[in-house]
Structures are given as structure tokens and as C-alpha cells.
Amino acid sequence: MVGMDVNAACSVRDKVVIVTGGGTGIGKVYSERLAQAGARVVLADIADDAAQAVARSIRGSGGQALAFPTDVTDPQAVQVMVEGAIAAWGRIDALINNASLMSVLPRGEWFRIPLEEWDRVMEVNLKGMFICCRAVYPHMKAQGGGRIVNISSSRIWAGNPNRLHYTTSKAGVIGLTRALAREVGDDGIGVNAITPGFTESETQMATSSSNYVAGRARDRCFKRPQFPDDLVGAVFFLISDASAFITGQTLNVDGGQAMH
């Protein structure tokens, strides 16, 4: 853009941003940092008590936030959440598809994964993302544009074993991102993905052994733990006007473990 105001382009102030899974783990950090930067945040989380507590804390600190109990696999619940955002703030500028099943999944051999567990992972991690995209689309189209950021995983670059269903679902997120970007580009909607490395969030650490955690940093260029705040800059960039001409892309944030 000729004559771009860089500060304005990089800002998320006053943007209405939905964060699925926004009340716990990495999503909680996204929600808090967005609110601190002046965004109006909608926390959509099946863990409603946690999301409501985060929203209250944000409002108590002078930020703007609403929370809605949202199972992303339930189209009606997602629609209620989206309509609630529209009723409160009149638009939806960005959707961060962060909700997923991962930390609760046992690690193990692929042929031992129960079929019901496989189906549930695909339902949450892929179908839920599709449902959320579909729910915000009419509003983004009507307002002339918007941004969708889909959270995948750096596991897809290495083909990490022992959670085959999770890795497979997160590879599917990249296909969804690329194809959807083609379908909604004429509506001014950008669709991109982020592949986080192993991130020491509260939910991840609750289910990971100290030996497993210690081994995650060995192959990185930056040999330190990855924290939720390490992902915030990528999210801000992809929902800001600074990335207005970027769509269908995947940004890897893992400290240089996978060279994508």
C-alpha cells in the first residue's frame, strides 16, 4: 500500500475478534493480549466457567470482552455465539480458530487409537473449524472483508508419531485453509494458518512429563521453551491490516525446529 500508516496497519485496536477455546491454555493468552491491545474479544469456549472468568478479568482491567458457552461441533451454539458478537459490536473482524482436542489425548501407537476417539478428534479439530468459518462468513462478506486464522501444529512438518489422529487433523487444517482462501478471496476475506511448536501452556503442561518437555527444545535454533506469548505476534500480524495481501499461507512458529 502506498503511503501506509505502519502503526495503524499493525494495530488490532477496536477489531472484534472471536477466539475459540479462548478461556483456557493458549487461547486464554490470545484473548488477554488482544484485549490489552484494544481489541473487543469474544471468548468462545466449551469451558464456560473459565471463559467467563477470563472475560470478567479483562473487563475489570478496562478491556472489552464477552464470553459464550460454545461447543464448536454444535452449529446452533456457534450461531448463538456469532449472533451475540454481532448484537454487541455490530461486526466480526477476525476469527481465531484455536479450539481443538490435543492435551487430553493419550500418546500411543496408531493402531490402538479407538475409532470413537479418532472420530471425536476430527469432529472438533476439523468439523468444528468448518462450522465456525461458515458461521462468520455471511457477516464478513456483508461488511466487505475479514480475517480467519486457523491454528494447526508444527507436528505436521515432522510427522510426529504417537498422536496420529491429532497430527492428521492438523494437516487437514492446512488443506482447509488453502482451499477456503481460494473460495472467499473475492469477498475480501483472508484465511491463513499458524503451526505452533510444542508450547508450554497450562493445559499442555498438565499432561506432559518433565522428560518429554525437556526434549522439545533440543532441535530448535532457539534452545529454550516455547510459551503462549511466542505465538501472539503471529496472530496479531495475521488479523491486522499489515497482512492485508497475504492469504492461503501457513506461518510456522516453533523456534526454528522445522524450516518451513
- Domain locations along the chain: 13-253
Alpha-helical runs (H) found in 90-146: 115-122, 128-143
Q: Identify whether the C-beta of residue 82 lies closer than 8 Å to the C-beta of residue 5.
A: no
Q: Identify whether the C-beta of residue 149 lies closer than 8 Å to the C-beta of residue 193.
A: yes
Q: Identify whether the C-beta of residue 125 lies closer than 8 Å to the C-beta of residue 166.
A: yes
Q: Which residues are catalytic?
A: 166
Regions in the chain scoring below 70 on pLDDT: 1-3, 201-216
Q: Identify whether the C-beta of residue 229 lies closer than 8 Å to the C-beta of residue 30.
A: no
pTM to 2 decimals?
A: 0.94
The 8-class DSSP code of residue 21 comes to: T
Nearest-CA neighbor of 31 among 62, 60, 54? 54
Q: Which amino acid is at 252?
A: N
Question: Measured between alpha carbons, how far is 87 from 139 in angstroms, rounded to an integer?
Answer: 12
Q: Per CATH, the architecture of 13-253 is what? A: 3-Layer(aba) Sandwich (3.40)
Query: What pLDDT does 185 receive?
Result: 98
